[in-house]
Structures are given as structure tokens and as C-alpha cells.
Chain A
Amino acid sequence: MVTIDLSTLPVRDANEAIRAAAAAGEDIEVVNPDARHHIGVGLVAPVTVHVKGSAGYFCAGLSHGARFEVESNVGWGVGDSMYAGSVVVGGNAGAIAGVALRGGEVVIKGNLGSRAGQVMKAGTLLCCGNASFLAGYMMYGGRIVILGDSGDRVGEDMSGGTIFVGGKVENLGSDAKVVEPTAEDLADIRAFLDRYGIAFGGTFKKIVNAGTKLRYGVNEPISRPLPHPVFSEGETYWNAKVVEDIHAKSLIGRYRIRGYGASKPLPHFGDIALKVDPARLTPTQDALDGVNLAMTLGDRHGAVPLKLSMPVLIAPMSYGALSKSTKMALARASRLAGIVENTGEGGMLPEERAEASQLIYQCLSGRLGWNIHDMLKADALEIYISQGAKPGLGGQLMAKKVTKELAAIRGIPEGIDLRSPSRHPDIMGADDLVIKVEEFREATGYTKPISIKMGAGRVRDDIKIAYKDGFDFVQLDGLQGSTGAASTEVLENVGIPTLAALQEALDGLKDIDAKNDMPIVMMGGIKDGVDAVKALALGASAVAMGTAAIIAGGCISCMQCHVGNCVVGIATQDPEHEARYQTEVQAQAIARFFEVVRRQIAMLTKALGHSDFQQLSRDDLVALTPEAAAITGLPYDPTYRAASAELLTKVA
């Protein structure tokens, strides 16, 4: 038994000491915990940890296999994303006990705070006292047992799992119903209670999903889709797409869903020109000679940074929205190009991890496929707050794509229309977010860069929060960003354009004197190296490309990503369709495209008189439209229009 005294040892050192003791097979006693956060976070060893007092937030979070015994109370999120093992708490638990539980057992002898078991997937959460409101909120699986009363709206929007209540059920949440427990249910609970020495003589009500909200009622009619280049051309009042849209809505009686991003004219990088003389670009030059494009990203707080051969990343796209074959092609292409891939929502595929030399692992609100093992395998961690295509809304994955394999990695029921929560269970504000970032750093020993992905809403304020909450870089996504599925109203109308988002972010950082101290990776409709150079000159540290990479890898832009029948095998989980996708061929195609991007960035950097892309500046840019000038503050100079057109043909 090793004793760790938190009155003398900071939590960061204490967690190191706990891991070291656990590695030697020693049990651990933590004295003077005094409700400090992150005790035992990320512990993956079958040892016992006795906490002699109260623990703060995320006690035993992201652990696997350890047994925690907390004498007194715990704060928010006890057992967060725990895979296996147990936590026994002698007192009360704060909000979201057992949040995103993926297995194991959490036993609270006192009362439960609000939203207990939110987005849990498996395992058991037992409360011997009463539970506050929304117990089992959006749970996907597992079992909650409440010996006392259940509080307001128990089981709200649960899509799987069971809740047993021994006391009074105040009322039921939406899409929850009460059924009779089976003899087997009761025997299981009895055995569980016996194991923990808990006496209970009462009976139980069993609460399960009522199945009224798991699927959209009426499917959209199948029609020949307008290809995106046609769809996004200009705006006239009663064009083909408007008419088709009204027809579809008159049939289904709800909003429509599609893939891709905003498809209307918006101020963009095409409205900005480079102050470069096209004559300085000669095709005989070796584009890459004498210009540096390499950079590192993510070491603001001492983590091991990502290393990029050029200031380009692959934008986050999920296994789910995309097929496994496509994710593998993207990962392989990122390795060939010396850049970074991103898991997107829904977990890390082993094949993707193997293909990518550097991989960012994304944590979303539903904690789908989020676990300590993959965190440790990742090269960087990313907290997704929102995305440009649908700021403020959760992801959607239609039932056709929620296959057995996909459901297993995400820990959810198969075949539901999956709507991810719009917000994180444990991030209600900047103050909670800072604790979450700390949890991830504690769990991974402060070695991984942690980034934040955000859509463009109130960027000027949000970027300050990102800075103050200690992120290593920001992935900022404008209105033109694409998605695998979102409602058309949101795609077209919510958020602010990429150009404006970047400028607002830069202004926000300037407000707090942090202009050069927070890298921004800009995305949302960045098509090529020319756009990239403009974004870099404006002030971005790097750019990310999603749609462009997908198109390079065979996408035909039909915008039917959400349906699940992608004819080229990209946005599908159907084996027959996916079989059409040739991973190696498309990986090479994507990598070739990135080499063009590399050459474009290099040529333009040199043509602007620089030897390093980091020398690009606002002085290299002019605005071609009054609108772009107003957004960016760049000088308005339409005379560059002709030169800009000529330049584009040369670097294309």
C-alpha cells in the first residue's frame, strides 16, 4: 500500500505517483484529498485506490479496471467514461455521476446530482439515496438503479438501457415508459446489491425507451439529386432547387437533411487577391526549392507538438459519416503528405490509427467511441464544441449508417437515427471547460496537444475562452464548412462566413494581447493552396481541408451523404456500396492533390518574395470587393482582379 498525501503533493504529481504505484501492483491510499479534482484520472491498472475523504470532479474518470473507494463525497462526473472497474462513494455525488460510462460499476451510497448517467453506454450506476432531475438523460445503454426517488423527467430521451427506481417516480422524461421488471432483472439487481452489502426490501419500477423518437417518421422522397456545383449556383427566387425543396417538404412535413455545406454566394477567399505579379511565376522554377513550409503545432503548454510538412491538416470527418475504406484512404494520404488526420466524431478506427502517422482524436458531446486507450494512442486530443455547418447542433447519423460494427465502436443501439447531443454533459461554460481540459491532460500525462474545434458563431468571444482555458490551438470552422448530415435551414443560414470568422478570431485575440500566441487552423470551404495562402496571409497558422480531400478521393458532390447509399462508397456503411471504393487508388489521388496544394502554397509564398510561409502577411493581400474589404479591413483594390485571374490559371 502506497500513501499519497494531497496536502503536500499537487494532483498532477499525485496522479503520476498513483500510476507508478499501480504499475508496481501496489494499492493506493490518498489522504487529505479535500475534494480536489481528477483523482485517479486515466488509471488503467487493477489496483484499489482508497480516497480518505471527498474527491472533486472526474474522480476515477477515464479509468479501466481499478477499484476506487471514496469515503465521503464526489463532485461532478465521477467515473467519467470509465471502461471497467468500480467506484464506491460513501457520500453524495454531484452532477453527471457515471457520465458516458462504458462499463464497470459506480455505487453512490448517498444522493445523486442531476443528469446522472448522461450518455452512458454500459455498466451499472447504483444510487442508494434519491436522484435529482434527468437521471438517465440521453443514455444509450447500461443500467441505472435508484433505491430512492427518481426526480424530475427520469429517462429523458434515453435510446437504450434500463433504469430501475425503488422509490417514487416523480414523472417520466420524453420517450420513456414504465414496464414490469422481469424476474431475471430483479435477481440481477439483488445479486448486485448483495455484492456491495446493500440491504433493500422494496420493489422496482423499470423504465425503458418508449421508441417514439428513435426514427424520423417519413423518409424523404427519392429524387435525382442536383449536383452541388449546380445547386450552389447563384440565387434566384424560384429555381429548380427551391421548387424541389417545397415539394419534398409538402410530402414529409418536416425539415430536410442533406450533406455538404452552405450553397449560396458568400464573401470568401475569392474576394481577396494576392499582391503578386503573375510574371514572377515561371513554370520552370522548382516550386519547393528555397521555401520552408514545415511547422509544428500544439506545444503552447509543453506537449509534444504535431509536425506538419506544410500548414495543412485534414478536417475532422467521422467514421460513420464516411466508410471505413474512406477513412483509411484519408489516413494513408495524410501519412504520404506528411500532415495530420482527424478522427472526427465516433471513435478511432484501429485501421485508421495504423494508416495515419499523426492522428487527432476528437471528443464530442455524446462521447461516442471516446476512451482512455485511444486517447493514449492519439497524437493530439480535440474537444469539439461545434462546427461551421451547424453551430450549436449535434451530429446526425441516419439509421441506414448505424450498422452493427459502427454501433459497437460508438457503444450505442444499432439502427437508430442517431442524433448526438448539442452540448457536452460536463461543459456548460468556460469554467467547466477549463476543468475538462485539465482532466484530459491529467489522463494523458500532459504529453498531448489539446485543441478545440468550434463553428463560427460568436467567434470574437469564443476565441478568448479558448485562449484562457489553455488550449494549444483552435480549429475554427466557417459557415461554408461541410457535414455528412444537417438540416438545410441550418446549413445555409446559421453561422458566419469563413472569412469573417477568421477576422473576428484575430480581432478577439488582439483584444487580449494574444495575437501571436494562439494558433488558428482555419477551415470551411478552403478549396486549394491559393485559398490556403490567403488564409495564412490574413493570420491563420494553418488550414484544414475536408470537402476538397473527399472530392480528390472520388466524391461526386451529389450531397446525399446522409442517405447512406453513396454510389462511390464514401458516405456509406453498406458493404456493397463500400466495395466500390478503392482505398489505395483514392489514397494516392488524395495525396497527389495535396502535393498540388503544397506546390501552390510554395509558389505563391516565393512569388510574394518570402522564403517561409510564416512570412506571409496582410501586406500581401488586397480586397477585390467592398464587402471583403469591410470584413477584413484590407485595402479595396479591384485593379488586382485581372492579375488574380491570370495567377489562378498559372497555379491551378
Chain B
Amino acid sequence: MCGIAGIFFKTQGSNQILGRALVDMLDGCQHRGPDSTGFALYEDGIEGLRLRFMVAEDDTAALDRIRAALAAHGATLRSEKREGATVVVDVDYSGEIRPFAYAMEHAAKLVSIGSTLDIIKDVGTSHQLDETYRVSEIRGSHGIGHVRLATESDVKPEAAHPFWATGFADVAIVHNGQITNYWKMRRRLEARGFEFRTDNDSELIAVYVADKLARGETLEQALEQSVDDLDGTFSFLVSTKDGIGFAKDRLAAKPMVMYEDDGLVAIASEEVSLNRLFPGKPLATTEPAPGTFRTWSRSI
């Protein structure tokens, strides 16, 4: 029950006003989800690998566990700092991501791992998060975001979106809707050794897509298959190191509007978010057709 937004700058090199754009777009659809807000940002200037954890202010034991787990996996610490409800840890690490990620998960609540991806999510509105995490100052190439109205699960920072595809660096998802074959899909993935951190259906989509990417499929192929495999109502955005994509269910029960020009692609639940990027300008927007998907990526 929520609103989603995503932006992809087409111009080569990044250094775009990514944070500012997403803060504004999410503020535009905050009415769809007042409980929590989140951003998955593909940032400039992350050195090494960035890990972000949810750690309570006084929980020094968790910090000790994180440091021990990092050392145990041969990751060297570059920096560690507290931001809001989270601790940001930049490390040098060159091993396999999945076992590393699961070990980190067992040390503390891990939000994301990425060489460019950084997920910032918390209870509160877009502007409130911007104050705490200075999101609008972040520059980068692309990103997705989410506002949430909690229905079945609690209002907690870790229940906010975006969801990182646990075990896969630099993959994130935001989702509006409800996956009705959640347990069936989850059991399939669990049988293949994947671990889930929440009962949230959006985490499932993230892992589902990332698994396909890891097996050598393109984002496009993964999204095409997702429209068949996932049951229920959904409009979701997925982001990887190189690009973003969307998929929409056949019932079109959840809205999605898109704007594209030479410089950027912007997608959101409602046009009102897109207009935040271009105040006062009528936009030639389109509504993706039901049961469709599309991707944009930076060709390397």
C-alpha cells in the first residue's frame, strides 16, 4: 500500500541531482504512504563496498558483532559512521557476496550492500528523511524510492522499502501491490538456499529478480518472466548497478505513469510526482500497458 518513484539519468557520467529529484518525487506522492519513506540511490563516490545497517543508538554489541563478522570475512574497514537509525560501513572486500551478506545479516540488521547502491529508509516522510540523512545532497546516476502505508506489518524502519535483494550487491526494488503467491514462490527460493529477512512480498521480488540476474539472465528477461510467475497486483521498479526497469501486472490495479525525454526517464505511481521535476510544465506522459515491463540501462 504505497507510492513508488524512480529516475534514470541518461547522460553519460553521473553527478546528477539524484537525491533532490527523488526527495521531491516522493514528497509528491506522500499521501499514498505517510508511515515510512525510503531511497535506493546509485551514488557517486562510494569507495570500496558500502554496507548500511539498522543499529539502535545504544546497541554497541551490534557494532562489535559487525566488526567481528567483517574481520572474519577478511573485509577491511575504511570508515564507519552513524546516520539516523543506521550505521554506514565502507569496507574493502573482494570475496563472494552471498555468504558475506548472510554473515553480516546474522551480525545485525543489514539494509544494503553495494559498490554504488546505498539504501536509506526510515520511519517518516520524504522531507523528514532528507533532514536526517541529507538525501537531497546525494548525487548519482539513478535511483528508486518508496513511500509506505503499513497495513499488515509494523511501522518499523526495517519494514520500509526499498528492499535490497539480500545476497546480491547493487540490486534493489520498490513495489506497490500485493503478491498473492508469495509463500509458494518463497518456498521455491528457500529450497535453493536463499534466506529471507522479512515476510514482506517486496523482498521476495528483489531476491527473485536478483537470482535470475545471477544466473546470467538480463534484467529484461527477468522482468518478462516475473509478469508470468508473480500472482496478484503489482507495479514495481527494480534497479541494478547499470539501470532500472519496471514491471506491471495484467490487472493494472496499481497505477504507474512514465515520462521520458533525451535526458532522463522518470516513473512514478502518479503524474503529480513527475511534475515535481518539471513544475508548471504539462508533460507528455504515458501509462505503461498492463502486463508489460521495460528496462533502461547504461551500455558499457
Contact = CB atoms under 8 A, between A and B. Distances in A.
Interface of A: 7, 31-32, 34-37, 52-54, 56-57, 71-73, 75-76, 91-92, 94-95, 111, 113-114, 132-133, 428-431, 434-435, 438, 461, 464-465, 468-469, 511-512
B150 to A, nearest CB: 7
B2 interface: yes
A464 B34 CA distance: 13
A431 B280 contact: no
B62 interface: no
Interface in B127-182: 149-152, 154-155, 176-178
Top 8 closest A-B pairs, CB basis?
A72-B282, A35-B271, A34-B275, A430-B1, A35-B272, A431-B32, A428-B253, A53-B282
B271 A75 contact: yes
Nearest to A430: B1
A431 B282 contact: no
Contacts of B285: 54, 73, 91-92
B271 A73 contact: yes
Contact of B270 (A52, A57, A429, A469): A57
A624 B253 CA distance: 46
Contact of B287 (A31, A113, A430): A113
Contacts of B33: 431
Nearest to A74: B271
Contacts of B149: 430-431, 434, 465, 468-469
A94 B257 contact: yes
15 contacts: A34-B279, A37-B272, A53-B281, A54-B285, A56-B270, A75-B272, A94-B287, A114-B290, A132-B289, A132-B290, A431-B1, A431-B2, A461-B152, A464-B151, A512-B155
B50 interface: no
A92 B290 contact: no
Interface string B247-270: 000001111010000000000011
Given A54-B285, A113-B287, 11 more contacts: A34-B280, A35-B275, A94-B271, A113-B252, A114-B252, A132-B289, A438-B31, A465-B1, A465-B151, A469-B149, A512-B155
Which among B32, B176, B272 has the highest number of chain A CB atoms within 10 Å? B272
A432 B279 CA distance: 24
Contacts of A111: 287
A269 B279 CA distance: 58
B283 A54 contact: yes
B290 A428 contact: no
Interface string B5-38: 0000000000000000000000000011111000
A264 B289 CA distance: 47
A190 to B, nearest CB: 30
B257 to A, nearest CB: 7
Contacts of A34: 272, 275-276, 279-280
Which among A34, A72, A114, A428 has the highest number of chain B CB atoms within 10 Å? A34
Contacts of B281: 53
Contact of A56 (B150, B155, B233, B271): B271
